[in-house]
Amino acid sequence: MEKLNIQEASGIASRKKSLLVLIVKAGSRLLRNPKALLNMSSTFKTFLRLLKAWALRDYRDISWNSILMLTAAVVYFINPLDAIPDVAPVIGFLDDIGVIAFVLNSIGADIKRFEEWEKSQKYRG
């Protein structure tokens, strides 16, 4: 996680507008590179939905440290010049996948709790 800038993530996560802009940028980047994250695309989309729900104060059952990890992972994804530059064919997104897997492994319980909350919201209409 040394490449993840927690200080930068803190600055972004603490400002609603900055966090929402980050989410839009990450979503756009994923749309331009739909196969970039392979089987981690759906997990990353969950990260983005969770951060959006948190920014909008719809969902708050998550620690600040987990929000920082999620934000740092998204910042890492949108940075094309990370450990393995994303312009490198085939392998350019492997480090991004590793970061997403690391965050999922670290805060999996938070992600699962969010997904359960999200399902319950859909049933409310």
pLDDT per position as a tens digit, 92-125: 788 888 899 999 999 999 999 999 999 999 766 5
pLDDT (tens digit per residue) in 23-56: 999 999 999 888 888 889 999 999 999 999 999 9
Residues 51 and 71 sit within 8 Å (Cβ to Cβ): yes
Domain boundary assignment for the chain: 6-123
Nearest residue to 100 (alpha-carbon basis) of 80, 65, 75: 75
Tell me, yes or no, if the pTM score tops 0.85: yes
Please state, as a whole number, how many other Cβ atoms lie within 10 Å of the Cβ of residue 18.
14
Residues 56 and 50 sit within 8 Å (Cβ to Cβ): no
Extract the tokens encoding 17: 């507008």
Please state, as a whole number, how many other Cβ atoms lie within 10 Å of the Cβ of residue 112.
11
* Alpha carbon separation from 120 to 31, 32, 76 (Å, rounded): 27, 31, 31
